[in-house]
Chains A and B, each alone.
Chain A
Amino acid sequence: MPRLSRSEWYDLTRDMNWDLSYVSEDEAFPPVLSNSFGVPAHDWWVWDEPYKITYTEYVHNQAGKDAGVYSVNNVLNRSHIFDNLEPGWKAAVIAHYGAIAVAEYQAGIGEARMGRFGRAAAWRNMATFGTLDETRHGQLQTYIPYQALAKEPRLDWAHKAYHTNEWGIIAARHLFDDMFTANDAVSTAIQLTFTFETGFTNLQFLGMAADAMKAGDFDFGALIASIQTDEARHAQQGEPTIKVLVKAGKADVAQNLLDRMFWRAWKIFALLTGLSMDYYTPVENRTHSFKEFMEEFINKQFIDTFRDFGLEKPWYWDQLLNEMNWVHHAYHIGVYFWRPTVWWNPVAGVSPAEREWLEEKYPGWNESFGKYWDVMGDNVRNGHPELTLPETFPMVCNSCQVPVCTPAGYAAGYLDSPLPHILDFEGRRYTFCSEPCQWVFEQDPEQFKGHLSIIDRFLGGVIQPATIPGALEYMGLSPEECGVDGTDYAWAGPVIPAEKSA
């Protein structure tokens, strides 16, 4: 039987575009779900994915990928690998599963929306693969942590986290709802697949894979590297979508969508990946600093690509470069101090060897952020670890939902003012951590104005009783689940006996 090569039949099997006659375009592709941004229906039909795959090839590849990940997991389950991981690495992994697993299923909703409401058949085809990809990622990242539940019960946050109002999850949900759960198909292609997946997921899924192999966690390394091979493919829905918009004279639409989501993604990755790479990963296993990974995957690889479509760096580029020096160091102090509010056990990561590494990667760290740790270390050594715990809550940004850290940025010499950015809008006062965060809000106030941050809820009487225990209960954290120091204060050195007996 003669066989055609794939390229001879690919387009024919993929392109099922047709003109509508029984219903209007808006009925078949409602703007709220699809949003053509005014580009006529036929102009979308040139949409052509750069990364081509057939269903047969897809199934073959995915079966092989799953077999690889599950077989690594099966073998390693017997070797008690989880018991042997360093406390910091455990913090990184437990934080990852809670923040990512159910978000993958939600990304599947975004892919499925493009699979139905994408504006070209070729696109709907790629998005169908994307839907299956994200479902696989959700399944893998709930299945694998559950294998170690007997050793660490809080691995069930892989499933539980997004069903709580824990503050970090409120921040992640606010981002992901904006990006894909409640977004139209065209914006999703640019904001989820292009901005987020071509850009930022490389940090958490490839950067951390490199660290995982060095930390001896082959299970986690194999898992996240396998996931990223799916992302590399379905992320390619962004390029043809941008090309259609640019060709239609709507580069400004693509630029605006990118600028909004690029900043939002930065804030959440600084929180998750920033802490994992620069504080939680054992210092001897670190491949690069978070800043170096940002420079490799974002500032170079990602920026080169989107500039190639005729788009430009976001207007706040200098502010991004500025925050890359300090913001995740401030977040780390906050997460450590407020550790009862997270589902993993943060490690301080500031022993003498670690401080030396931080000073090398971030010159000036000891003189700025190191000073806060000096005080916390003194309190621990003097027998007063309770002084390293909070009695109140910080102000939270009404855009990224992460605590406002401008005073730390100011004290470290990176900001001109310690004050947050304030916006009074329709009788309500909003607080922002940065100018781009305020700008994101102002791009679509109707989308964001009704949302209450965790602190708005605390001060507004939603959280009862309005105490720290009341807030922890509201966040879904039982006393057994609240984070504690991951090394039992080993980083601070021994308690000073004289002080202890005094």
Chain B
Amino acid sequence: MTTQLKMVGPVVSGMDGALAEAVVTAIEDDNPDLEVDVDDQGGYIRVQTPGRCRITRASLEDALGRTFHMHELEPSLAGFAGRMKVTDEDIIWYLERED
């Protein structure tokens, strides 16, 4: 049985480049202790951290330089790895099972 943490996080569409870059920056800011893996396939960009990945509205606003509501992420959120929890202030992707 392996206990290596599984990678989780959003898969963002490459159509809105500014938002995609902001997502990467925000996830780096919001998960300071985790290594952020960015896999840019052009049509989509996979942004992942091990086990748990958080993105906050505040960090996205900082990265974009404008006000932002979490639901505005949807037009770029083409998929994600892990399960998802959404509040007014953040989104968390996570997996619980360790084996």
Contact = CB atoms under 8 A, between A and B. Distances in A.
B97 A308 contact: yes
22 contacts: A50-B85, A50-B86, A51-B84, A51-B86, A53-B74, A54-B71, A57-B74, A61-B71, A61-B74, A206-B79, A209-B44, A210-B43, A210-B44, A214-B43, A222-B15, A226-B75, A232-B77, A232-B79, A304-B6, A308-B82, A308-B83, A308-B95
Given A53-B74, A229-B76, A233-B74, A305 B42 contact: no
A265 to B, nearest CB: 16
B97 A307 contact: yes
B56 interface: no
Contacts of B82: 304-305, 308
A70 to B, nearest CB: 13
A212 interface: yes
B87 interface: yes
A225 B15 contact: yes
A7 interface: yes
Nearest to B72: A61
B33 interface: no
Contact of A206 (B76, B78, B86, B96): B78
Please tell me the size bucket of the interface on B: 20 to 34
A226 B15 contact: yes
Main secondary structure of the interface of A (DSSP, over half): helix
A239 B42 CA distance: 29
Contacts of A310: 97
A211 B13 contact: no
Contacts of B63: none
A61 B95 contact: no
A-B pairs, top 4 by smallest CB distance, nearest first, are A210-B43, A209-B43, A57-B71, A210-B41
B11 interface: yes
Given A57-B71, A209-B13, A229-B77, 19 more contacts: A5-B88, A6-B88, A60-B71, A202-B79, A209-B14, A209-B78, A210-B42, A210-B43, A210-B44, A211-B43, A225-B15, A228-B13, A229-B78, A232-B78, A287-B42, A287-B43, A300-B7, A301-B81, A308-B82
Contacts of A52: 86
Given A50-B86, A210-B42, A213-B43, A225 B78 contact: yes
A390 interface: no
Given A5-B88, A7-B87, A68-B75, A304 B81 contact: yes
Contacts, number: 105
A65 interface: yes
A36 interface: no
A229 B75 contact: yes
Please tell me the size bucket of the interface on A: 35 or more
Contacts of B80: 232
A214 B42 contact: yes
Interface of A: 5-7, 50-54, 57, 60-61, 64-65, 68, 202, 205-206, 209-214, 221-222, 225-226, 228-229, 231-233, 236, 239, 287, 297, 300-301, 304-305, 307-308, 310
Contact of A305 (B69, B83, B86): B83
Contacts of B95: 304-305, 308
A226 B71 contact: no
B42 A213 contact: yes
A229 B13 contact: yes
Nearest to B10: A232
Nearest to B45: A210
Contact of B83 (A7, A64, A239, A297): A239
Contacts of A239: 83
Nearest to B96: A308
Interface in B54-72: 69, 71-72
A273 to B, nearest CB: 14
Given A61-B71, A225-B78, A226-B13, A212 B83 contact: no
Nearest to A210: B43
A51 B87 CA distance: 9
Contacts of A225: 13-15, 43-44, 78
A72 B76 CA distance: 16
B44 to A, nearest CB: 5
Nearest to B44: A206
Pick the most buried of A57, A206, A214, A310: most chain B CB atoms within 10 A of its CB: A206
Contacts of B13: 209, 225-226, 228-229
B9 to A, nearest CB: 10
